[in-house]
Amino acid sequence: MKVLMKGNEALCEGAIRAGCRFFAGYPITPQNEVPEYMSWRLPEVGGHFVQAESEVAAINMIFGAASTGVRSMGSSSSPGISLKQEGISYCAGADIPFLIANVMRGGPGLGNIAGAQGDYFQSTRGGGHGDYKLFVMAPQGVQDMIDFPTHCYEIAYKYRVPAMILADGIIGQMMESIEMKTPEIDPKNLKEPDWALGINNTGRPKRRVTSYDLREGMLEKMVLERVKRYRELEKEVLWEEKMTEDAEIILVAYGTSARVSATAVKMAREKGIKAGLFRPITLSPFPKKRLFELASKTKDFMAVEMSLGQMVEDLRLSINGKANVHLHAKPGGSLIAPEEVFDSIIKVTKEGVKDYATIK
Amino acid sequence: MQLLNERPKSLLDVSMHYCPGCGHGIVHRLVAEVMDELNIREKTIFVAPVGCAVFADTYFNCDAIQGPHGRGPAIATGIKRAKPDSIVVSYQGDGDLASIGMAETVHSAARNENITIIFINNAIYGMTGGQMAPTTLIGQKATTCIYGRDPKVNGYPIRICELLSSLEGTRYAERTTVHNVAGVVKTKNAIKKAFQNQVNGIGFSIVEVLSMCPTNWGVRADNPSEATKYINDQMVKIFPPGVYKDVK
Amino acid sequence: MPKQGKIEVNEERCKGCYLCVSVCPNKCLEKSDKFSKTGYYPASYKGSGCIACMSCAKICPDLAIKVYEL
């Protein structure tokens, strides 16, 4: 059965289907539907919602709740996510899995409330202090918003890393017809993790949730143990390809930019230009091996992003000099038009511009 | 011959890192004794702060979490909401609770979270080396006000019990001291009440304990009267002990 | 007749703050003249005078004192 839903609300329903039973949040546009929806929906399924006094308090409520093994979630938009970074770093340092959504808006600073992709670095490089990574998924529409939470929780709990859904204001606000495909998980059927804080009437050893160790060399040991899990996490990389087999140029884009790029690829194909689309679904880990493979037959790649050229750096690292990497960038919370991207395709394929970079 | 004081089971038999004459150890023991007496050790989750008590998560014989500076009440909120049957205590110092974590303190009280807060007020930042705290007295010397706290530059000390008692959500707020035996006994009774309130679902309870910090007050650690005198003669004037709120 | 007691100080846990010495009503605790393994002159029981009032144990920050009633 298909239902018409707004991206932000689908995200909530997806999280609840995935067993989320705790949410703490703070109002910020364009993600306000998330705390609003959770405030009435979570109590219906026996969960808990807290409107926190700040983004900082919200992430720490999530830290507390998630430490008890309850599937917990937070959401915010760019400036709010910046405020949460300390708490996210603590969760990562204490190996506490949870789900956080960033419905990105234009920045830096207060910026604007339109959709943007300027938080790519923040999301894929850790974001807060210290050596850590998140598992980051990039939805490109409302269907992804409802589907991704299930996968995020699965990966987050398997590897004990926080997971992030990196959406943007457009995906959060748009309404689309979707299917509820993911199974409904009853948290009662989930096994309690062996690290979860709680009532200890079995005489098990006490459990500690902590990110510190001041003893000589012990923090290094703790971080290196985590690095092993990050290496394992690499195999959870996901991507999608369209018409890349014979492509002379491959556009690389995620989220809203991927949808715009898909239209531009279609326009190019109609004009006889062999364009393809590569859409990273996970941004961390980034599909670098596959991109490197593709670079052996395709000579031109172009990052298309609603930011000042952030994802293009991962693309360059993946291609590692094996092909040309171009950039079509649009910062400031403005939507990219397919025609602009098409123009950039022409510049590279027909006019042969080397190291093409346009910041529109 | 009968031993009169067993070590509480809720406190692990390890040496604590606190400086000589510091009051944290006394309050740790009192919290542990109360946990034993109320038989809540198995369901208590201890929230340790950033500051001198950062290692408290290793001392108590119960599940524990150590969180960011000042965020104890938010973490405790998350735990208590997610696991309502647990007993959650947030143990915090003055910098943690009254400065960087003031918003979390005030709002957890305003929400009447059913949690227990143990607040150690020694009027100084201990772990970082004696900087001025939100509760540092006027004229008191600290490493960030070496000539003494000057209200023209540094403002005035914050009275947490008085402030929180103005909130409807606060159910119990009492200030005690641990600078003499009578104070220790009162502190234990207050801590017991603060935990009992949580067990009985009464709600947000806080005990503020005036405590010694000989190291950072710059007084002799081997002459306890110097530190206890400071509490007795100076601190209680600004922070009078007593029950500030007690809603049944 | 007052109770009779005995005090044991765990020298390895005592940090020499002498809060116990200061609160003892019978002045039956004192600073030891022997250096402890942990680097302090611990408090020590004089050997007599304890009335098992528990004051020392109640104020000791390091749980270093055991009080017995004889």
CA distances from B229 to B14, B34, B179, C23 (A): 30, 27, 8, 13
Domain ranges across chain A:
2-197+224-235, 238-359
- Predicted interface score ipTM higher than 0.85: yes
Reported as type and span, the H/E element at residue A317 is helix A311-319
Average pLDDT, stretch A270-275? 98
pLDDT at residue A357 is higher than 90:
no
Out of B66, B76, B82, whose CB is closest to A22?
A: B82
Compute the mean pLDDT over every residue in chain A, rounded to the nearest whole number: 97
**Domain extent at residue C45:** 5-69
**What secondary structure letter does DSSP report for A186?**
P
Tens-place pLDDT, residues B179-192: 999 999 999 999 99
Quick one: what percent of chain A has pLDDT higher than 70?
Answer: 100
Domain-located, residue B164: yes
Q: Considering the domain boundaries, does residue B3 fall inside one?
A: no
Interface of B with A in 65-124 (CB under 8 A): 65-68, 71, 74-83, 85-86, 103-104, 106-107, 111
Tens of pLDDT, residues C31-59: 999 999 999 999 999 999 999 999 999 99
CA distance B18 to B53: 8
* Yes or no, beta carbons of B68 and A90 under 8 Å apart: yes
Contacts with C55 from chain B: Cβ below 8 Å? 181
Query: What is the number of structural domains in chain C?
Result: 1
Residue that the structure tokens 């040309």 belong to: A324
**CA A220 to each of CA A109, A195, A214, A217: distance values in angstroms, whole numbers, following the listed order:** 34, 21, 10, 5
> Do the chains contact at B222 and C55, CB–CB below 8 Å?
no
Torsion over CA: B208, B180, B196, B18 (sign): positive
B18 in contact with C at a CB cutoff of 8 Å? yes
Percent of chain B exceeding pLDDT 90 equals 98
- The average pLDDT across A198-220 equals 95
- Is B83 in Cβ contact with A198 (below 8 Å)? yes
CA distance B198 to chain C (A): 25
Residue B17 belongs to a domain: no
> Which positions in chain B touch C43 (Cβ < 8 Å)?
none
Is residue B154 domain-resident? yes
The contact set of A with B (CB < 8 A) is 21-22, 24, 48, 50, 52-54, 56-58, 60-68, 70, 72, 86-87, 90, 94, 197-201, 206-212
Q: What is the pLDDT of residue A1?
A: 85
Candidates B11, B25, B224; nearest CB to C18: B224
- What is the nearest CA distance from B183 to chain C, expressed in angstroms? 9
Q: Would the pLDDT of B152 be above 80? A: yes
**Tokens linked to A224:** 């290196």
Tell me whether residues C54 and B25 touch, CB distance under 8 A.
no
Which chain C residue has its CA at the smallest distance from B228's CA? C19
Question: Which chains contact B through at least 3 pairs of Cβ atoms less than 8 Å apart?
Answer: A, C
Confidence (pLDDT) at A131: 96
Two structure tokens written together for B52: 């001198």
Q: Is B5 on the interface with C (CB under 8 A)?
A: yes
Contact A289, A320 (CB under 8 A): no
Shortest distance, CA B232 to any CA of chain A (angstroms): 36
pLDDT band at A354 (very low <50, low <70, confident <90, very high): confident
- Under the banding of pLDDT at 50, 70 and 90, the label for residue A85 is very high
Chain A neighbours, 3+ Cβ pairs < 8 A: B
The stretch C5-28 carries a mean pLDDT of 97
State the CATH architecture for A238-359.
3-Layer(aba) Sandwich (3.40)
Question: Which residues on C lie below 8 Å from B214 (Cβ)?
Answer: 17
Per residue in A109-155, pLDDT (tens digit) is: 999 999 999 999 999 999 999 999 999 999 999 999 999 999 999 99
Give the whole-angstrom CA distance, residue B78 versus residue B58: 21
Min Cα separation B216/chain A (Å)? 22
Query: Given an 8 Å threshold on Cβ–Cβ distance, is B224 in contact with C17?
Result: yes
CA distance C61 to chain B (A): 4
Percent of the residues in chain A that have a pLDDT greater than 90, as a whole number: 96
Between positions 7 and 66 of B, the ones with CB within 8 A of A are 42-43, 45, 47-48, 54, 57-58, 61-66
Tally the residues of chain B. 248
A64, A70, A94: residue with CB nearest B76: A64
Per CATH, A2-197+224-235 and A238-359 having the same topology is answered yes
DSSP structure string for A93-151: HTT---EEEEEEBS-STT--SSB--TTHHHHHS-SSSSS---EEE---SHHHHHHHHHH
Full-model pTM: 0.97
Cis link prior to A27 (omega < 30° from 0)? Answer: no
Cβ-nearest to A63 among B45, B75, B103: B75
Question: How many Å apart are CA A167 and CA A334, to the nearest integer?
Answer: 15
Choose among A62, A91, A65, A66: nearest CA to A75. Answer: A62
Q: Is the CB of B23 less than 8 angstroms away from the CB of C61?
A: yes
HEC secondary structure over A216-278: CCHHHHHHHHHHHHHHHHHHHCCEEEECCCCCCEEEECCHHHHHHHHHHHHHHHHCCCCEEEE
Supply the CATH number for residue B33's domain: 3.40.50.970
Residues of C in contact with B182 (CB under 8 A): none
Across the B:C interface, residue pairs with CB atoms under 8 Å apart total 80
Q: Is the pLDDT of residue A360 over 80?
A: no
Topology classification of domain A2-197+224-235:
Rossmann fold (3.40.50)
What pLDDT score does A355 carry? Answer: 81
Residue B140, pLDDT above cutoff 70: yes
Task: Give chain B's mean pLDDT.
Answer: 98
What pLDDT, on the 0 to 100 scale, is given for residue A358? 83
Q: Which domain covers residue B146, as residue numbers?
A: 24-246
The reply to whether residue B4 touches residue C68, judged by beta carbons under 8 angstroms, is yes
Nearby residues of A205 by Cβ (< 8 Å), 6 or more positions away:
none
pLDDT band at residue B248 using 50, 70 and 90 as cut-offs: confident
**Chain C residues in contact with chain B using a Cβ-Cβ cutoff of 8 Å:** 5-6, 12-13, 15-19, 21-23, 31, 38, 40-41, 52, 54-55, 57-63, 65-70
The domain that holds C56 is classified in CATH as 3.30.70.20
